[in-house]
């Protein structure tokens, strides 16, 4: 076995006694391919999903007539399958998000054509609705364009020295009315002395607004949202914690993907681009962003910003 095979199968080659193939791979489908090749003397190939590991392998077993051995070639397709899944979800989600406002505009236009245009009160209401749906389409298009530019590194940061505490307080002030409307407590926990940061104020404010806005959306009335700022080694760590509905463990790794929604039934909760944009903003500043959550008990989103930039 080479190092790649050791890594793929999670096998520890240290040991005194020889092991059978099934003991190494610990998967009956892989072992069956080898046995079939031995029995038939013919090349065997298949794609195999390793149970319990969400791992996809492409396996080819060939007889080597000269050495009378059998060669097993394994390709790990897990990452490729994951990217294909993301691409399928993206196409499905973007089609769904655009279909809703387009269908609304088409229905309103047909209603106006069929006679509603002659009623001044009705046609003004319908024209206003068309305008609202068009704004939704424009907003999604702008966010997609912004995300595409970030992914292609076509955006530049306008960095200046500023106090992150002032930025946090500004975001809290802007969203205070929205949180009060849901009877939520919005508080801050900032260390007494926090060094100034050299950052793009507009972009970091965009991240904070998105994280706090999400916390408000997914926290039930009477809940608490806390924005914390702490200094750690050579970086500042900002966190937004809530006592909301939480995120299932199996969904947590995907929340920063484009158009990904944890609760797909809630069509009015945005289009799922905010966290993807936030991830690019933080990484472009040289920081990290991640989430921790327990379903039913709340979530905490963290991001760091380096002090030496």
Q: Give the CATH number of the domain where residue 139 resides.
A: 1.10.287.130
In this structure, are 165 and 300 located in the same domain? yes
Q: Give the global pTM.
A: 0.63
Name the DSSP class of 192: S
Sequence-separated (6 or more) residues with CB below 8 Å from residue 122:
116
pLDDT at residue 116 greater than cutoff 80:
no
Residues 59 and 39 occupy one common structural domain: yes
Do residue 41 and residue 93 come from a single domain? no
Mean pLDDT, to the nearest integer, of 147-154?
74
| pLDDT at position 292 | 94
Residue ranges making up the domain that contains 223: 159-306
From first CA to last CA, the distance across the chain in angstroms is: 45
pLDDT value, residue 22: 87
pLDDT at 262: 63
**How many other CB atoms are there within 10 angstroms of residue 102's CB atom?**
14
What pLDDT is attached to residue 109? 86
Residues 69 and 88 in one domain: no
Q: Nearest CA to 30 among 70, 66, 79, 64? A: 70
95 has pLDDT over 80: no
pLDDT, position 96: 73
Q: Give phi and psi for 266, each to the nearest 5.
A: -95, 85
Q: Is 44 a residue whose pLDDT tops 50? A: yes
Last residue of a domain, one of 26, 41, 76: 76
Domain boundary among 41, 58, 76: 76
Q: What is the mean pLDDT of residues 17-39?
A: 87
pLDDT at 135: 83
What residues contact residue 187 under an 8 Å CB cut-off, 6+ apart? Answer: 224, 225, 226, 227
* Count: domains in the chain: 3
Whether the pLDDT of residue 185 is over 90: the answer is: yes
């Amino acid at each position: 076995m080479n190092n790649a095979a050791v890594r793929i199968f999670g096998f520890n080659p240290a040991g005194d006694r020889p092991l059978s193939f099934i003991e190494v791979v610990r998967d009956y489908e892989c072992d069956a391919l080898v046995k079939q090749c031995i029995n038939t003397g013919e090349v065997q190939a298949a794609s195999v999903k390793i149970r319990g590991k969400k791992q996809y392998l492409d396996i080819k077993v060939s007889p080597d007539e000269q050495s009378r051995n059998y060669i097993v070639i394994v390709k790990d397709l897990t990452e490729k399958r994951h990217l294909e899944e993301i691409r399928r979800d993206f196409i499905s989600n973007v089609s769904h998000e655009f279909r809703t406002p387009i269908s609304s505009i088409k229905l309103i236009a047909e209603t106006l054509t069929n006679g509603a245009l002659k009623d001044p009160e009705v046609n003004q209401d319908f024209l206003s609705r068309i305008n609202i749906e068009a704004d939704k389409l424009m907003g999604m298009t702008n966010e997609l364009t912004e995300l595409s530019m970030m992914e292609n590194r076509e955006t530049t940061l306008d960095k200046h020295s500023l106090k992150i505490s002032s930025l946090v307080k500004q975001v809290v002030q802007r969203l205070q009315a929205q949180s009060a409307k849901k009877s939520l407590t919005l508080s801050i926990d900032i260390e007494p002395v926090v060094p100034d940061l050299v950052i793009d104020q507009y972009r970091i404010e965009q991240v904070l607004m998105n994280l706090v806005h999400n916390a408000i959306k997914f926290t039930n009335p009477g809940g608490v949202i806390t924005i914390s700022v702490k200094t750690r080694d050579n970086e500042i760590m900002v966190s937004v914690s809530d006592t909301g509905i939480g995120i299932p463990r199996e969904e947590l790794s995907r929340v920063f993907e484009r158009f990904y929604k944890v609760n797909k039934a809630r069509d009015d909760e945005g289009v799922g681009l905010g966290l993807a944009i936030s991830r690019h903003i933080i990484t472009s500043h040289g920081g990290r962003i991640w989430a921790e959550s327990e379903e039913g008990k709340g979530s905490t989103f963290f991001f760091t910003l380096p002090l030496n930039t």
